[in-house]
Amino acid sequence: MVDAGDGGASAGATKKKPAAASAKGKAAGKGKADSKGSPKAKESSLLKQKSPAEFFAENKNIAGFDNPGKSLYTTMRELVENALDSAESISELPDIEITIEEITKSKFNTMIGLVDRERVDAALYDDFESAKAREKRLAKEARFQETQAKNAALGKKVKDTPAARGKGRGEASFFRVTCKDNGRGMSHEDIPNMFGRVLSGTKYGLRQTRGKFGLGAKMALIWSKMSTGLPIDIKSSMKGQNYISFCRLDIDIHKNIPHIHLHEKRENNDHWRGAEIQVIIEGNWTTHRSRILHYMRQMAVITPYAQFLFRFLSDAPEKNLTIKFARRTDVMPPVPLLTKHHPSSVDLLLIKRLITDTTKPNLLQFLQHEFVNISKAHADRLIGEMGPDFNAKTTVNSLTSQQLVRIHQLFRQARFDDPSGDCLSPAGEYNLRLGIIKELHPDLVATHAGSPQVFEGHPFIVEAGISIGGKDVKQGLNIFRFANRIPLLFEQGADVITRTALKRITWNQYKINQQQDKIGVFVSIVSTKIPFKGTGKEYIGDDITEIADAVKSALKQCCLQLKSKIVKKLQAREQQDRKRNLTKYIPDVARTIMETLGEIADESPPKRARYDKEDEELLEKINSEEVTEMTFRDCLSQYVEQVDYEMALEYAMQSGVSDEPREALYLNSLEGSYKFIDLQSPSFMFRYIP
C-alpha cells in the first residue's frame, strides 16, 4: 500500500510536470513565433546587394589605399599613369606636372567652413598623457641624457635624442594633389561617368595597358569622399575644341553613379589641350616621401621621352621641394594594339561572351575572326575534329552548352601557333639605356631586349639592363622592377625579378662583385596579361617558368656584355700599372746600363775586337761623354710612351671608343633668325641652326 501510495504520489507528480512543461513549451513556442515575426528577423533574411563603388570603399586595400601614406602615394601614381596613357595614345611627348600641396588641419577646417575648437576634456583624447606616464617618460629621458653625457666624456659615439612618439594616430594631414598633362583630354559628356562610376573606362579589352580595373582616379575620389568629403575637380580640353570642360563631382557610393556639383564649358583663350585633375585627400607625406620620389625617378628611367615636373608645397618653406625630370629623347614606343584572344587562353565564359558580341553568323567565320592564329584551313580542320554535330555553316547562336564545352576542350588540347608580340609596346632597349644613363650616371651599362615569348596563350617581352656604379646607388644589388612600363615598389622579396637576380645569377662569373660593386638591375616585362600575385598588383609570381627563364636569359645577356667591358677595363688598368712600373725603374735601369757600358769601354783593345762597328761607335761616345745616363733615361722613357700609345690605340679600336677631349662646336648662320634643333646621343650633341 505504501508502495502503491508512493507510486500514486509519484504518478500524480508526474502528471503535473508535463503540464508545466507544456506551459513552458507554449511560452517558448510563442517566443519563437515572435522571433520569426520580428522586424529584425525579417530584415536579416532580406537579400542585399552592394554596388562596385561600395565594395571598393569597404575593401580599399585592394586598390592600394591601405593607410593615409599609401593612399597619397597611390593617388599620385594613378593620376600620373593616366596622364601618360593620355599623351601616349595620341603619340604626344608627355609633359606632366604633379603638385602635392600640404594643407594643415586648421586650413582645411577653414576651407570647409568648420570653426576650430579647443579641447575641453584633455583626458578624452587619444594622445592624452597622465601624470604618472609623464613622470615615467621624463625619468627615462633623464637617464638617457646621463648616459649620453658619460659616453661623450669617454669619447664614445653620442646617439641622437629619440623622437617622442604619440600614443594615437596624431593630427590628420590633408593634401591637394594636382596632375596636369598635355594628352588627349576627355569628351565633355563622358567626364562624369569616367570619374564617377566605378568599373567604367576605356582600357578594357585584350591590350597591353597600365591599368585594368577601371579604378584609377575613381578610387582617389572614393578616398577623398571617405577622408575629407570633398569633390574632385576636372578640367579638360580636346584637340579642336575652343572651350575647356570643367566638372566638379563626387560619387554616390551606394548607387555607383556620379553626383555632379558643377559641369560647364569655359573659354579656352590659350588653346590649351590636355587634362588637369585636382583632389583633396588625407595622407601622410612623411612616411611615403621616399616612395613617391623613388617612383618618380623610376618612371623617369622607363619613360625618358617624358618630362616630369614634381612639386611639394608646404607652409614651412624648408619642406618645399621641386624636382624636374627632363626629357632625354623624343623616341616613343609604339601605341599598344588591341588584339584578339589566343584559343589556348580562353575559358567557357569568355567563349559565350565572344559568341554574344560577334558579328559573324557561322562557326567557320567565328573561329577565323575572333581568335588569333586560326586560318580558314585550320578552322576547317578544327570543325571536322569537333564531331558530326558541327559544320562550317553552323550558326554560333544555336550552339548548345554541351557543344560549347566540346569547343573549349578542343581549344585546350589542339596545337596552335604562338601569338606574336606585334601588339606589345615595350620601352625599347634604346629608351631603357637612355633612362638608366640619365638618372643614375653609371660607369658601365648594358641592356638587352628579348624576343617575344608566350605563357598561357599571352605574349610577353622581357627587357633588361644592368649598370655598374652611378649616382645615389648603394653597394650591392639595387633592383628596379617594371610591369607594362610602370614601376613596382612594394612586395619585392617574392617577385620573380628579385629572386632571379639574387639566386639564379652567378655574378662573380662575370667579374662583378655582388657585395661591393654598385649594381643596378633593371627588368621590364610587358604583356597583354601581367600575372600579378595578390590584390595589390605589386609583384609578379615566381611560379611561371616561361617568365622566370626569360628574365634569367635577359640578365645573363647583359652580364656577358658587361664582362667584356670589365675585362677590357682590367686590361687597360694592367697596362697603366705596367707603364707606371716601367717608368719607376727607368733611372735604375739607365744607371746599370751606363755602368756596364762604361766598364766595357775601359777594357783593353784586344777584348774590344769582338764588337762590331756600331758597338764601337757607342763605346766611343760613352768615353767622350756624348752619351750619358740621361740619354738612356730619355730613350727608355720614349720607348715606354710609344708602347703605351700603341696598346691604347689598339684598345680604342677594339672597344670603338675615342677618349679624345670633347669640345663644344657652334655653327652660327650669317643672317636671319635662329631656329635650333638639338640632336642628342649618349656621346655627343649636335645643334643644327638653319
Nearest one of 198, 193, 201, 224 to 85, comparing CA atoms: 201
The DSSP element (H or E) to which 502 belongs, if any, is: helix 496-503
Beta-bridged to residue 371, according to DSSP, are 341
Q: What is the sign of the dihedral through the CA atoms of 161, 167, 171 and 175? A: positive
Q: What is the 3-state secondary structure (H, E, C) of 159-228?
A: CCCCCCCCCCCCCCEEEEEEEEECCCCCCCCCHHHHHHCCCCCCCCCCCCCCCCCCCCHHHHHHHHHHHC
Q: State the cell numbers at 255.
A: 548607387
**Dihedral, CA of residue 126, residue 132, residue 134 and residue 140, to nearest 10:** -120
Nearest one of 44, 50, 81 to 295, comparing CA atoms: 81
3-state secondary structure (DSSP) of residue 335: coil
Residue 194 near residue 305 (C-beta atoms within 8 A): no
Q: What is residue 174's predicted lDDT score, i.e. its pLDDT?
A: 93
Over the range 641-651, which residues count as b (16 or more CB within 10 Å of their CB) and which as e?
A: eeebeebeeeb
Q: State the cell numbers at 20.
A: 508545466
DSSP string, 36-50: HHSHHHHHHTS----
Q: State the cell numbers at 397.
A: 547562336
Distances (CA, A) of 95 to 289, 302, 330: 22, 15, 12
Beta-bridged to residue 322, according to DSSP, are 311
Residue 601 near residue 619 (C-beta atoms within 8 A): yes
Q: State the cell numbers at 496.
A: 620573380
Cut 0.85: pTM above it:
no
In terms of DSSP H, where are the helices of 228-362? 285-302, 348-357
The DSSP element (H or E) to which 232 belongs, if any, is: strand 232-237
Nearest one of 179, 222, 192 to 85, comparing CA atoms: 179
Give every CB contact of residue 625 below 8 A, 6+ residues apart in sequence. Answer: none
How far apart are alpha carbons 118 and 122 in whole angstroms? 10
How far apart are alpha carbons 615 and 432 in whole angstroms? 64
How far apart are alpha carbons 591 and 631 in whole angstroms? 10
How far apart are alpha carbons 138 and 144 in whole angstroms? 10
Nearest one of 204, 420, 447, 422 to 302, comparing CA atoms: 447
Q: What is residue 599's predicted lDDT score, i.e. its pLDDT?
A: 76
536: burial class by Cβ within 10 Å (0-12, 13-18, 19+)?
A: middle
pLDDT < 50: residue spans in the chain: 1-31, 33, 35, 166-170, 606, 608, 658-669, 682-683
Q: What is residue 164's predicted lDDT score, i.e. its pLDDT?
A: 54
607: burial class by Cβ within 10 Å (0-12, 13-18, 19+)?
A: exposed
* HSE toward the beta carbon, residue 656, CA cutoff 13 A: 3
3-state secondary structure (DSSP) of residue 347: coil
Q: Helix-strand-coil percent breakdown of the chain, rounded to 5?
A: 45, 20, 35
How far apart are alpha carbons 82 and 635 in whole angstroms? 69
Q: Which amino acid is at 438?
A: K
Q: What is residue 304's predicted lDDT score, i.e. its pLDDT?
A: 93
Q: What is residue 206's predicted lDDT score, i.e. its pLDDT?
A: 78
How far apart are alpha carbons 362 and 366 in whole angstroms? 6
Q: What angle do CA 32, 34, 39 make, to 5 degrees?
A: 120
